[in-house]
Amino acid sequence: MFTTAIARTPSRSLIDGISQTPEMGKPDYELALKQHERYVEILRELGLKVTVLESAEDFPDSVFIEDNALCTPHGVAIISRPGADTRRDEVKLPDLRAALAEHYDTIEEVVDPGTVDPGDILMVGDHYYIGISHRTNDAAADQIIKILEAHGMTGEKVKVEGILHLKDDVVYLDKKDLIVAKAYENHPAFADYNKIVVDDDEYYAVNSLWINGTVIVPEGFPKTEKAIRDAGYEVVLINTSEFEKITGSLTCMSLRF
């Protein structure tokens, strides 16, 4: 169960963020701000205490705060070393470190030559799947696994190909249930899980967000919404159109623990 989250207000520089979908155009900042406010409101409605950090104008992608740290339930947070050069210094922001220090006595850090975006890290209980991608390398994964094992947790590597982050294609809900893109339907690392397989025309909906029995799902993907409801979950819908334009989705807009 989650009790706490940290989010960051979108910066006006968001419109210049990293994008894998330039054909969708740049986001509307004012609309993105309203959508983010609704996102935080939903987290609070679902029982989380949410700390919202101020915008960081020097970092267009800083609203995607999940890539700044891995927050575990066992007394340790791991500050990342993001894979994109333009995001590398986000983790040095004092308000991020102060917010983590309020909740964690032990804070570790990934160091050079490791690079990692925690959007590549899928938590299932005390086990962590770490996607090896363009943003996350073996050196970082090895460091993280060593830290996890020192605190009674485990981790393993999963090769990621053709996508930005592992959680673009695989998201854990609860009760051994995964939401997966078709490319991961038969992946051996996830053979023992129940799978909600998302059709290609609703691909963006893979990245839905489980919060204490309820799943937050992006609007406009009725087949995925129905499949999640049929699996026994309550669903809350949210419009994240402006974040989709810069390859942003639900899990990456908060740190949850």
What is 125-169 written as a DSSP string? TTEEEEEESSS--HHHHHHHHHHHHHTT-EEEEEE--SSS-GGGT
pLDDT tens per residue, range 101-112: 999 999 999 999
Averaged pLDDT for residues 50-70: 98
Report the Cα 30 to chain-centroid distance in Å: 23
List the domain boundaries for the chain: 4-256
The DSSP code sequence of 18-29 is --S-GGG----H
Task: Give the tokens for residue 231.
Answer: 């699996």
Who's near 247: CB < 8 A, 6+ residues apart? 18, 19, 20, 21, 164
Helix (H, G, I), strand (E, B) or coil at 229: helix
- pLDDT for 20: 64
- pLDDT for 152: 97
Query: What percent of the chain clears pLDDT 90, i.e. is strictly above it?
Result: 93
Whether 21 shows a pLDDT value over 80: the answer reads no
Helix (H, G, I), strand (E, B) or coil at 94: helix
- pLDDT for 43: 98
pLDDT tens per residue, range 40-52: 999 999 999 999 9
Who's near 84: CB < 8 A, 6+ residues apart? 18, 61, 117, 135
Averaged pLDDT for residues 207-225: 98
Residue 18: pLDDT band by 50, 70, 90 thresholds? confident
- pLDDT for 24: 81
Separation of alpha carbons 200 and 209, rounded Å: 19
CATH class of domain segment(s) 4-256: alpha beta
Bridge-based pairing of strands 234-238 and 214-218 is parallel
Active-site residue list: 165, 252
Averaged pLDDT for residues 80-84: 97
